[in-house]
Amino acid sequence: MAEDVALKIDAKGLKCPLPVVRVKKAILGIEVGQVIEVEATDPGSMADFEAWTRATGHDLLQATENQGIYVYRIKRTK
């Protein structure tokens, strides 16, 4: 079952790198083990979030696209 989302971020309409910047700031406001859900419309955000989570060590639990809306679930690991 999907983990509970501690925080949702609406980054629709924002271009690179703003969706990642929003998450980078917000992730410090949740506890380790909690999950942020982000909605974005920038197609480049898929590669951006994959690279950012790989670089920071946070877990990218979900990365999906439906009708131009990209949804990411990122778990804070540290």
Query: What residues does each domain of the chain span?
Result: 5-75
Catalytic annotation, pick one of 14, 16, 18, 71: 16
Inter-residue contact 17 to 47 (CB < 8 Å): no
pLDDT tens per residue, range 18-53 = 999 999 999 999 999 999 999 999 999 999 999 999
Q: Which two three-digit tokens encode residue 20?
A: 């990642």
Residue 2 binned pLDDT confidence (cut-offs 50, 70, 90): low
Q: Which two three-digit tokens encode residue 37?
A: 């859900």
- Average pLDDT on 46-62 reads 97
Give the Cα separation of 4 and 75 in Å (integer). Answer: 10
The CA distances from residue 11 to 1, 16, 27, in Å, are 25, 10, 14
Amino acid at 41: T
> Where do the H-state alpha helices sit in 5-72?
18-26, 45-56
Specify whether 32 is catalytic: no
What CATH number has the domain spanning 5-75? 3.30.110.40
